[in-house]
Amino acid sequence: MYSNALSTRVTKSMIKSILMWISKRLIITILVIWIGVTLLFIATRLSPMDPASVIIGRITAWGAGLGGKELEKMRQSILQLYGLDKPVLYQYLDFLKGVITWNFGPSLAFFPTPVIDIINRNIWWTVFLLLTTLIVSWILGIVSGVLASYFEGRVSKLAVTISAALYPLPYVIFALVLFIIFTIIIPIYSGVGGAGFTIPSLTWSFIVAAISRAWLPALTLIVLWVASWLLTTYSLGISLKREDYIYYANIRGLTRQDIVFGYIGKNVLLPQITALILSLGNMFSGALATEYIFSYPGLGYLILLGLQRADYSLLLGVCTYAIVGVAVAGLILDIIYPLIDPRVKYGFTGE
């Protein structure tokens, strides 16, 4: 209706301020990754256990008849392999180098196989699950939240109450409840078991297998996330509704559709994108917990494997992937942000 005449022409200063924005975000992303990775490093070094004794413990548990001397030698070579025989600062730099060169060493459970190979095999399951559920739940949650805040009534109140009851539930518990419902009470989910670990391919049978395996974890995440987006959008929408410009739009006789989507919806979008960027970490954690419960073959399943086999490097790899993945996803959203927020274009990037 009001074409934003100002924004039709791209000026040099606009490009400059957008580039400024992006480079600032890039630095922030790198710093976030650095903080996360450093936390990981501290976590691993604080532990009273070292991976060498873990591996040796496994080997002796398998009943290999090794003498004390051999074990000690083995221990030394494992320590060398992981660089644990050097001073802590050196270890830290080594660790950072591993992250930068994207190399987490061999897995302990599947010994010579590099951790990256294992993760790369499974990560697409997580990416696929996360992307679809994230987008679907974000859109559904915001649309329903805006509608619930504009058309207050019995339905809206019911939706908000149900969301408020679901929103704080831990993912594992909700996943467990859905798992029990759909495998025992109404047995229609049968994705558990070895199926689905086939190599991804674009065949019809694979797609069917993947969907039959993914729909229940996806449902878990979508329900919980829609609840959370609905709740936050609702409270944003309620406070927006009291703003003068909405009142004015009503007086001007704009259609409901214009007010709901153009006025409330658009203004809800910005804080909700910020919220999305900040909640990516939490959402990722939730997805991992859900995958764990359903033994869905993504990173959550690798956590299960890593725990069962005390595979320290595999878990370390999964954690690093998680930290970097979340930070990069945030960066991508940050880059999209100027398209939605016109203030960035004109250099008003303050709070």
Partner 1 sequence: MGLQVSNMRLRLGVNPIPIAIVVIIILYSFVVSLFAPYDPSAWNMVPRDQPPSLKYPFGTTSLGQDLFWLCSYALRNSIIMSLLVSSIGILIAIMMGVIAGYVRGRFSSVMTFIIDSFCALPALPILVLLFMMMREYLSPLTMALWISIFSWSWPARNIRSIILGLRERGFTYIAKFSGYAIFDLIRYHYLPYIYGLVVTNFLGIMLWAIGIETTLAVFGLISLTTPTLGLTIFWAMNYQAIARGIWWWIFFPSALLILFIASAYFVSLDLYRRAYLRF
207 within 8 A of 243, measured Cβ to Cβ: no
Residue 304 beta carbon to partner 1: minimum distance, rounded to whole angstroms: 8
State the nearest-atom distance from the C-beta of 140 to partner 1, in Å. Answer: 21
Q: Per rule CB under 8 A, is residue 284 in the interface with partner 1?
A: yes
Smallest gap, in angstroms, from Cβ of residue 135 to partner 1? 19
Q: What is the DSSP string of 202-269?
A: S-HHHHHHHHHHHHHHHHHHHHHHHHHHHHHHHHHHHHHHTSHHHHHHHHTT--HHIIIIIIIIHHHH
Please compute Rg for the chain using Cα positions: 25
Interface positions, 16-75, toward partner 1 (CB under 8 A): 28, 31-32, 35-36, 39-40, 43-44, 46-49
Cβ atoms of 52 and 78 within 8 Å: the answer is yes
Residues near 253 by beta carbon (within 8 Å), at least 6 away in sequence: none
- What are the backbone angles phi and psi of residue 196, rounded to the nearest 5°? 95, -5
Nearest to 83 by CA among 71, 99, 74, 95: 95
Asked if 322 is part of the footprint of partner 1 (rule: CB under 8 A), the reply reads yes
Exposed e or buried b per residue across 94-110, where buried means at least 16 C-beta atoms within 10 angstroms of its C-beta: ebeebbeeeebbbbbbe
Q: How far is the CB of 117 from partner 1 (least distance, A)?
A: 19
Q: Which is nearer to partner 1, 40 or 210 (CB)?
A: 40
Residues 244-273 that bind partner 1 (CB under 8 A): none
Q: Return the residues of window 167-206 that contact partner 1 according to CB under 8 A.
A: 167-173, 176-177, 180, 183-184
CB of 340 to partner 1, least distance (A): 19
For partner 1, give the closer residue by CB, 57 or 342: 57
Full DSSP string of 3-17:
--HHHHSPPHHHHHH
Which of residues 265 and 281 has its CB atom nearest to partner 1 in the complex? 281
Among 56, 240, 268, 303, the residue binding partner 1 under the rule CB under 8 A is: 303
> Quick one: CA dihedral 86, 35, 225, 210, positive or negative?
negative
- Establish if 327 lies at the interface with partner 1 (CB under 8 A): yes
Beta bridge partners, 106, equal: 114
Q: Which of 74, 136, 164, 254 binds partner 1 (CB under 8 A)?
A: 164
Binding site for partner 1 (CB under 8 A): 28, 31-32, 35-36, 39-40, 43-44, 46-49, 164-173, 176-177, 180, 183-184, 277-282, 284-286, 288-289, 292-293, 299, 303-304, 306-307, 310, 312, 315-316, 318-319, 322-323, 326-327, 330, 351
